[in-house]
Structure 1
Amino acid sequence: MMTRAVSVDLRQRVVAAIDGGLSCRQAAERFGVSGQRDPLAQSPQGVGDIVPKRQGGGRKSQRIEAHAQLILDAVTAKPDITLADLRELLKRRGISAGIASLWRFLQRRKITLKKRQRTPPSKGAAI
């Protein structure tokens, strides 16, 4: 479950309480917020802005998206390419990418890599 950001109003009240002399932990306890989140607990003089930052989203996906055409060309050229093969292709070009990153990249584009069957089923096998 993803938690929601604390409202700006509550952030302002927490900062005002800290500026009024309460410790970060005391203010957190008083307003029912986490005392471990320093950006919330610090005063605007030290942080700058108390507006909550955007939550979620891939922060690292931009790195792999920069090489989208190379990956898509490789998948088009060899439809049964494995994620490990894609990773090796990128590695040869000096691009570091994980298997999970490649999988999410393809999932965002609704591309599924199906392996071709290596050996055909036996025609003489009893069922």
Structure 2
Amino acid sequence: MGRPYSDDLRVRVVAAMEGGGNCRAVGEAFGIAPSTAGNWHRLYRRTQSYSARPMGGDRRSKLLEHGDHVTALLAEKSDLRLVDVQADLASWGVKVGYGTVQRTVKRLGLRLKKNDLRD
């Protein structure tokens, strides 16, 4: 995964755009795509911030509010597999993927049955 461009570059690009430059000319001058220059300028005008947003992770997990339920479920039956937790959540109307359940269980610091193979 790549890294975000530095805030220093973002400041200079936005300043050039504010100074009347167009996306194509500013992008070429700084060695970035014209769409990137335009996106940064729009972001700055909307939020007054140059910084990149956080990358990666599971920030918007559907299971954040169901952590107590997952913890209680695994405390009740410690030999459950991730697919069993996923099925239980689906019965509650929370449809999530296998990876989401796995990341949530890990984030909660819980342990699962070792032979956790998908059915």
**TMscore range, shorter length:** 0.7 to 0.9
Greater RCO (Cα-Cα under 8 Å, separation 6 or more): 2
Q: Distance in 2 between matches of 1:12 and 1:5?
A: 11
| 1:14-35 residue CA offsets vs partner (Å, 9 max, x unmatched) | 1232233332122112112333
Aligned to 2:33: 34
Amino acid at match of 1:2: G
CA radius of gyration, larger in: 1
- Unaligned 5+ runs, structure 1: 117-127
Q: How many residues align?
A: 113
Q: Distance in 2 between matches of 1:64 and 1:77?
A: 19
In structure 2, relative to structure 1, the CA distance for the partners of 1:44 and 1:98 (3 Å cut) is closer
- 1:107-126 to structure 2, matched below 5 A, reads 107-115=106-114
> Are the counterparts in 2 of residues 83 and 99 from structure 1 also a CA contact under 8 Å?
yes
Q: TM-score, normalised by structure 1?
A: 0.71
> Are the counterparts in 1 of residues 44 and 50 from structure 2 also a CA contact under 8 Å?
no
Aligned to 2:79: 80
> Are the counterparts in 2 of residues 5 and 52 from structure 1 also a CA contact under 8 Å?
no
Q: TM-score, normalised by structure 2?
A: 0.75
Q: Distance in 2 between matches of 1:104 and 1:52?
A: 27
In structure 2, relative to structure 1, the CA distance for the partners of 1:17 and 1:11 (3 Å cut) is same
After superposing the two structures, state which structure 1 stretch, 11-20 or 96-105, moved more. Answer: 11-20
In structure 2, relative to structure 1, the CA distance for the partners of 1:2 and 1:41 (3 Å cut) is same
Higher share in helix: 2
Deviating beyond 3 angstroms after TM superposition, the runs of 4 or more aligned structure 1 residues are 41-45
In structure 2, relative to structure 1, the CA distance for the partners of 1:36 and 1:74 (3 Å cut) is same
Q: Distance in 1 between matches of 2:16 and 2:34?
A: 13
Question: In structure 2, the residue corresponding to 1:67 is in which secondary structure?
Answer: helix
